[in-house]
């Protein structure tokens, strides 16, 4: 009986973790306070804005900050934290003095994306008072 209960508990947890879908949110409304702590889906273009800061403040996963913009070439956008790593939905470690071509962000299938491609980013959004700060901790990146 205990084995069946343990199996059901593990199966339930596994299935719950498979849902990488978030609530689609209009880009211009993403940083509304009502979205705080929601898992959202945003569509746009990733930019490095000339520099990338990677850290694991608080001892969590090592993340690198990029900007998701509504339109290709926009300056303003929403900060997106992408886990540094080698698997799917990660960014590879950047060398010191990196160039744009050194940025290797992998999508949900493990393929390197092109920064000029429109993407869908899913993750938990954090929105401060008045929409500042506003950032998404990316869990899924899709073309």
- Given a cut of 80, is residue 19 above it in pLDDT? no
139 CB-near residues (< 8 Å, 6+ apart): 20, 39, 89, 122, 123, 124
Q: Considering the domain boundaries, does residue 17 fall inside one?
A: no
CATH number at residue 88: 2.40.50.140
Domain of residue 71, residue span:
22-142
What's the domain count of the chain? 1
Q: Considering the domain boundaries, does residue 119 fall inside one?
A: yes
Q: Considering the domain boundaries, does residue 95 fall inside one?
A: yes
Mean pLDDT to the nearest integer, 14-29: 73
pLDDT digits (tens, 9 = 90+) for 51-84: 899 999 878 899 999 999 999 999 899 999 999 9
CA angle 7, 10, 15 (to 5 degrees): 120
- Given a cut of 80, is residue 133 above it in pLDDT? yes
Average pLDDT, the chain: 87
Q: Considering the domain boundaries, does residue 8 fall inside one?
A: no
- pTM, full prediction: 0.83
Q: Considering the domain boundaries, does residue 76 fall inside one?
A: yes
Q: Considering the domain boundaries, does residue 4 fall inside one?
A: no
Q: Considering the domain boundaries, does residue 88 fall inside one?
A: yes
Tell me which residue of 129, 25, 133, 36 sits closest to 80, measured CA to CA. Answer: 133
């Amino acid at each position: 009986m205990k084995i069946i209960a343990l199996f059901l508990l593990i199966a339930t947890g596994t299935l719950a973790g498979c849902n990488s879908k978030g609530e689609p949110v209009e880009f211009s409304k993403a940083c509304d306070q009502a979205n705080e702590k929601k898992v959202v889906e945003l569509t746009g273009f990733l930019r490095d804005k000339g520099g990338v800061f990677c850290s694991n403040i608080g001892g969590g996963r090592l993340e690198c900050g990029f900007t998701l913009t509504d339109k290709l070439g926009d300056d303003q956008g929403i900060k997106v934290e992408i886990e540094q790593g080698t698997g799917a939905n990660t960014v590879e470690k950047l060398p010191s003095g990196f160039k744009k071509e050194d940025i290797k962000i992998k999508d949900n299938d493990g393929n390197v994306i092109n920064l000029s491609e429109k993407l869908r980013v899913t993750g938990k959004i954090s929105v401060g008072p008045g929409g500042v700060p506003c950032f998404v901790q990316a869990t899924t990146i899709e073309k």
